[in-house]
Structure 1
Amino acid sequence: MDQLAPVKYSPYRVFSAAEWARFRADTPLTLTEDEVARLRSLGDPIDLDEVARIYLAVSRLISAHVESSQLLFRQRQRFLSGNGAGQKTPFIIGIAGSVAVGKSTTARILKELLARWPSSPKVDLVTTDGFLYPNAVLEADGLMRRKGFPESYDVGKILRFLSDIKAGRAKVEAPVYSHFVYDVMPGKTVVVDRPDILIFEGLNVLQVREMPKDGNAIPFVSDFFDISIYIDAEENDIRRWYIERFMSLRETAFREAGSFFHRYSKVSEAEAVAIAEDLWAAINAKNLHENILPTRPRADLILRKSSDHLIDQVALRKL
């Protein structure tokens, strides 16, 4: 896999899609073509073949991690002689990657596959979008052109949310974001009530901050993850997918009067392409280079997409 360390020193084992598909073993395919069509994002060509080829093996891998986590919990209970052991807390999966790379599709597909394991675990999905500061705050702080960058999120709120989840607290609320109005929805929340598995998806979920000089504990979002996944692709491909998605939305959602981007539906096609190019270059490419791509080596699993938006390589961190 390019851009990773040389194979001799890499902490990953790298597999082609065909090699990875064999690790599915006897994991059953529990989704239908119609369900996959409903779960995929605009412009994402994922189909049942891709689910069988890539995601069933990912589901099997996560199952092994969940089982190992449960075993370790029981061993720790014995080690502590039951002193303050409590109940096993939710298993948290972090999913990171650039805008337009397919994080949301991956998260939704995995949610459905994991929930259909024979044990029927309760699986919830939360994105970091709801933890963005409201547009009014971003505008007041001059951060609207930095939306999606680490400083545009209420990191304290994210940490409190994940801490409550890991503490096994009931009915933890997460804020809701609307891509239609491009803002956090005031007073609207989704309730996460002690899931067996939580998928937490967002651009910068693997981001770290400057370490404290005095050694005091400062948690990172990823400290709460049991396994992390990074969705990867060449920048030129991501840029193309972003612009294609922008142009498709210009013909659909942007045409609705309440859309934040409604004004872009009224410009010419050439002007719309220029606007999309500017948004990519000025915001999304910068965020990718400054904040997102540098976190890729922190992931446990890297799913690498080729130019057709389908995964062609998988890198799994060595144990």
Structure 2
Amino acid sequence: MPLISEHTFTSPFQNFTREEWKRLNGQLSNMLAEEDLGALHALNEPLTMEEIEDIYVPLAHLLDVHINGFRELHRQSNDFFRRNNSQLPFIIGIAGSVAVGKSTTARVLRKVLSLLPNKPKVELVTTDGFLYPNKELIRRDILNRKGFPESYDTKELLQFLSDVKSGKSSLTVPIYSHLEYDVLPQDKITIAQPDILIVEGINVLQVNSRRNGVFVSDFFDYSIYVDADEKNIVDWYIDRFESLRATAFQNEKSYFHQYADMSVEESTEMATRIWNEINRPNLHENILPTRYRADLILKKGSHHFVKRVKVRKI
């Protein structure tokens, strides 16, 4: 029997090179200013106007197609049921590894979506705020597994998403401090009737983050996975750790102040150990297996810029 060629199997995704993708570019009614870049990108993650125009503007217009379809379905559903239910937020989930650049993707997308012609109200929530407080992680003996599925208060996260999709007008979300490496119990942000809600976190597409058979991703109307080769992610993680050691870790209030006096070599060794003992197992066991559950995959090259886009066929 002849061997079956790999080309015999079709993919549920359409593949676009960067050049192909950027030719889908539309026009925003208001463009970003150069000074916006500093507020959008994270430490050691380069961001240029070219990246925004080539990658995120087409992405915003693709999402606008889905959002308009979502609104039309709502209108027709109201007509069918003879009801006048309020429009619910369109929820976008963004997943990916530690250090891959999810936060930058989420912030840029929030900004670009807000510049669409109808000027939607766009809010951003990170799942870090739904981590159990450190004292609870210590009680459960899983502080060293922070970021793994069991370290999140999944019940609270699912309740929040359920409330959003139930049409609740105002909701509060806990805040996580990376300086203190803990949830801030007294600090909250308020989410009040956004048109679009972006939910960003490493765990959002994990099928084992559930309660009573309900998954976090069940509440998403569109999902994005930020991807890169593991070698690149490890390099970015080590570089970020060293940059933090030289800056944020110098603050005596920082949970990681203990690393402030390390040499560059010691910092690299410590970051590599943390990656191998915590982040790599989490990536392979929980995060990477969810990649193809996403509707769209942004694949980054070694310099943090997107080189390829995969979009699920409809």
- Percent sequence identity is 49
2:300 matches 1:305: yes
Contact 2:28/2:117 (8 A) holds in 1: no
Separation in 1 of the partners of 2:50 and 2:7? 31
Identify the match of residue 232 of structure 1 among 211, 220, 227.
Answer: 227
Deviation at 1:219?
Answer: 1.2
Separation in 1 of the partners of 2:30 and 2:98? 28
Give 1:39's aligned residue: 40
The one-letter code matched in structure 1 to 2:225 is: Y
**Cα distance change of structure 1 residues 229 and 253 upon mapping to structure 2, 3 Å threshold:** same
The one-letter code matched in structure 1 to 2:103 is: S
Contact 2:60/2:109 (8 A) holds in 1: yes
Per-residue CA shift, 1:163-208, capped at 9, x if unaligned?
A: 1111111210110000000000012111101111000000010011
The one-letter code matched in structure 1 to 2:188 is: T
2:203 matches 1:204: yes
Give 2:27's aligned residue: 26
Identify the match of residue 267 of structure 1 among 253, 262, 275.
Answer: 262
Give 1:145's aligned residue: 144
Give 1:285's aligned residue: 280
**Cα distance change of structure 1 residues 281 and 27 upon mapping to structure 2, 3 Å threshold:** same
Contact 1:27/1:57 (8 A) holds in 2: no
Structure 2: give runs of 5+ residues left out of the alignment: 1-5
Deviation at 1:7?
Answer: 8.0
Per-residue CA shift, 1:53-106, capped at 9, x if unaligned?
A: 100000001111100000111111122122xx5111000000000010000000
Query: What value does the CA root-mean-square deviation take over the aligned residues?
Result: 1.6
Separation in 2 of the partners of 1:268 and 1:115? 43
Separation in 1 of the partners of 2:269 and 2:7? 38
The one-letter code matched in structure 1 to 2:58 is: A
Separation in 2 of the partners of 1:210 and 1:22? 37
Contact 2:29/2:115 (8 A) holds in 1: no
Deviation at 1:284?
Answer: 0.6
Deviation at 1:49?
Answer: 0.4
The one-letter code matched in structure 1 to 2:253 is: G
Report the more deviating stretch, 117-126 or 6-15: 6-15
**Aligned runs of 1:42-81 on 2, under 5 Å?**
42-81=43-82
2:99 matches 1:100: yes
Structure 1: give runs of 5+ residues left out of the alignment: none
Contact 1:29/1:56 (8 A) holds in 2: no
Contact 1:96/1:202 (8 A) holds in 2: yes
Give 1:243's aligned residue: 238
Q: With the length of structure 1 as denominator, give the TM-score of the two structures.
A: 0.94
The one-letter code matched in structure 2 to 1:185 is: L
**What secondary structure sits across from 1:257 in the alignment?**
coil
**What secondary structure sits across from 2:168 in the alignment?**
coil
